[in-house]
């Protein structure tokens, strides 16, 4: 929901940093891989109860997620880069709640499962429309230049990271926050499905 507005604030400094990295030979795919390693490190830290360290790793993961696109724009964008970016994002999004489930299965198991199911629903609606949009030549730049059609929703990247930060700051509240965000994700998925049906039915 807030991703498009945030892009206006962060794109310029990210692009400057991306050009600097590209100038010293850092590739976009390398930044993407480092970002995934940081994300998995965050999930591991959560599983071990080190939520402070996890919070730092989550923020570094998001920095890497912004920088890989900036490096790609400073050099050249590739289909492989776009593919790795979206797949690694989804791996990261799933790993963080899983870390909380591993840390305390009894307290967090049900809420974690519901949240992951809502991520699955939201991701399926998002990616399936991207495939159809590519097939039909539907494009948008509302979320910045992307390798695939980025269908906005109530629960996007910014909201997800905010929730992950709250998880780390208030780990005892994970079940409550997770279930509340899962509800928002299910609503977002439903809205994306309705929107997709209307757009695709008209073409």
- Give pLDDT tens digits for 137-173: 776 555 444 555 555 667 777 889 999 999 999 999 9
| Alpha helices, DSSP H, located in the chain | 3-23, 28-47, 51-74, 79-103, 105-136, 157-169, 174-201
Q: pLDDT tens-digit profile of 97-121?
A: 999 999 999 999 999 999 999 999 9
Q: How far apart, in whole angstroms, are the C-alpha atoms of residue 100 and residue 164?
A: 10
On whether the 3-201 domain is CATH 1.20.120.1760, my answer is yes
Q: How confident is the model at residue 13 (pLDDT cuts 50, 70, 90)?
A: confident
Average pLDDT rounded to a whole number, residues 36-51: 98
Domain ranges of the chain: 3-201
Angstrom distances, CA of residue 37 to CA of 57, 59, 155: 9, 13, 24
User: Whole-prediction pTM value?
Assistant: 0.84
């Amino acid at each position: 929901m807030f991703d498009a507005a945030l892009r206006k604030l962060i794109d310029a400094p990210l692009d400057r940093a991306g050009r600097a990295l590209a100038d010293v030979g850092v590739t976009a795919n390398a930044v993407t891989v480092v970002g995934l390693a940081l994300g998995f490190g965050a999930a591991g830290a959560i599983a071990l109860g080190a939520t402070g360290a996890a919070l730092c790793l989550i923020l570094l993961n998001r920095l890497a997620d912004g920088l890989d696109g900036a490096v790609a724009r400073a050099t050249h964008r590739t289909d492989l880069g776009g593919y790795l970016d979206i797949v690694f994002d989804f791996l990261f999004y799933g790993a963080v709640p899983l870390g909380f489930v591993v840390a305390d299965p009894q307290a967090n198991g049900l809420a974690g499962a519901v949240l992951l199911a809502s991520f699955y629903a939201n991701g399926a609606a998002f990616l399936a429309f991207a495939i159809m949009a590519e097939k039909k030549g539907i494009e948008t730049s509302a979320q910045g230049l992307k390798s695939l059609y980025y269908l906005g929703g109530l629960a996007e990247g910014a909201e997800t990271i905010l929730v992950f930060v709250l998880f780390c700051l208030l780990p005892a509240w994970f079940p409550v926050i997770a279930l509340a965000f899962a509800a928002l994700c299910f609503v977002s998925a439903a809205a994306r499905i309705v929107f997709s049906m209307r757009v695709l039915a008209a073409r």
